[in-house]
Amino acid sequence: MSVLIFVELDNGSVKKTSLEAVAYGAEVAKLTGTTATVLALGAAETSALEQTGNFGATKVLHVSDEKLSHENSLAYADVLAQAVQQENSKVIIISKSGLGDAVAARASAKLKAGIVSGVTELPVIDNGFSVKRSIYTGKAFSTVEVKSDIKILVVKKNAIEALEGTGIAKIESFTPTLRDSDFLASVGQIEKASSELSLTEADIIVSGGRGMKGPDNWQPLLDFAHALGAATGCSKPVSDLDWRPHHEHIGQTGIKVAPNLYIACGISGAIQHLAGVNGSKYIVVINKDPEAPFFKAADYGIVGDIFDVLPKLTKAVQDLK
């Protein structure tokens, strides 16, 4: 019996958010007196799979079938269900993402498992099995008791601190039965965003709003982000105006992020944008309007013209390096 952790791969490596899920799953395994097993689907570097051992995994089930090289929630959920049966797993951990949500929902139906999404803390198992989850786009929390035999926890980023230790997970080849009905739809083409860092994986994000005044004024923000090693994002009005690519749109109708540090430059702080960033560990707001709503949600604020502030911050970061 083991806690089973589904991980996502990107260019042969395990995504950072999935490594956080591994660390979370390893802690759940300690609570329940079991071990942590990782399920990885698709092409992956051996060293990348072994790295999950640094975060507490003892074993990796690797499915290298070419059919699974592209994200397919139908097939992935089917494989996950078979791995659960082989490992006799009672708790499944999945990192919250577009793919993770889809796989979790389908696997829940297949396994008749209770599912909790947006989990923010380790479960409490002293009297039953309950977990804390984020609700209302992060504005509140609820505690959910799960009574099903099999439980699926979809974990938010930064749910626990993922400290990397030392250890090598044992890799085992896993050969599930793949059903033709799971492949009736196929991926014809994949177009990836050209940005260096993924918004959902980034530890630091620097975002701009209409306060940037136009598409030709973003260089100070880009220079600051580059100095920090940060990903760049934007508010919905900015993407609607085509000042920045739509894949950078952060908010309730865009990408929801949870970095360790979110820096908002010239963004007023509309509720739709806040819904996409309130999972951030720390929020810094730079705005010349001291009455901007975003300051109420900020951990730190700078009142000033972003075109004066950003170059000074960039220089300060460069000097520290």
269 is in an annotated binding site: yes
249 is in an annotated binding site: no
Annotated binding residue 267: yes
Q: Are residues 211 and 156 both part of a single domain?
A: no
For residues 152 and 78, state if they share a domain. yes
Q: Is 266 annotated as a binding residue?
A: yes
Sequence-distant (6+) residues with CB within 8 A of 265 are 206, 207, 208, 209, 211, 212, 221, 286, 287, 306, 310
Domain boundary among 183, 217, 235: 183
Q: Is 191 inside any structural domain?
A: no
Q: Is 280 annotated as a binding residue?
A: no
* 213 and 313 belong to one structural domain: yes
- Is residue 167 domain-shared with residue 245, that is, in the same domain? no
Task: Quote the CA–CA distance of 314 and 240 in Å, as a whole number.
Answer: 28
* 210 annotated as a binding-site residue: yes
Determine whether the annotation assigns residue 273 to a binding site: yes
Q: pTM (2 decimals)?
A: 0.84
**Single residue among 134, 151, 183 that ends a domain in this structure:** 183
pLDDT at 79 over 80: yes
In the Cβ-directed half-sphere of 262, how many Cα atoms lie within 13 Å? 33
Q: Is residue 218 part of a domain?
A: yes
| 31 and 64 co-located in one domain | yes
Domain span at 55: 2-183
Whether 287 has a binding-site annotation, put simply, is yes
**Whether residue 147 sits in one domain with residue 235:** no
Model confidence over 132-170: pLDDT tens digits?
998 887 778 999 999 999 999 999 987 788 888 888 899
The number of distinct structural domains making up the chain is 2
Whether residues 255 and 130 fall in one domain: no
| 179 and 55 belong to one structural domain | yes
Of all residues in the chain, the percent with pLDDT exceeding 90 is: 73
What interhelical angle do 219-228 and 306-320 show, nearest 10? 30
Radius of gyration of the chain (CA): 21
pLDDT tens for residues 237-246? 999 999 999 9
The annotation status of 127 as a binding-site residue, yes or no, is: no
Q: What is the CATH number of the domain that holds 246?
A: 3.40.50.1220
pLDDT tens readout for residues 90-114: 999 999 998 999 999 999 999 999 9
The reply to whether 160 sits in an annotated binding site is no
Mean pLDDT, the chain, whole residue set: 92
Q: What is the mean pLDDT of residues 21-30?
A: 96
Q: Residue 140: what pLDDT? A: 87
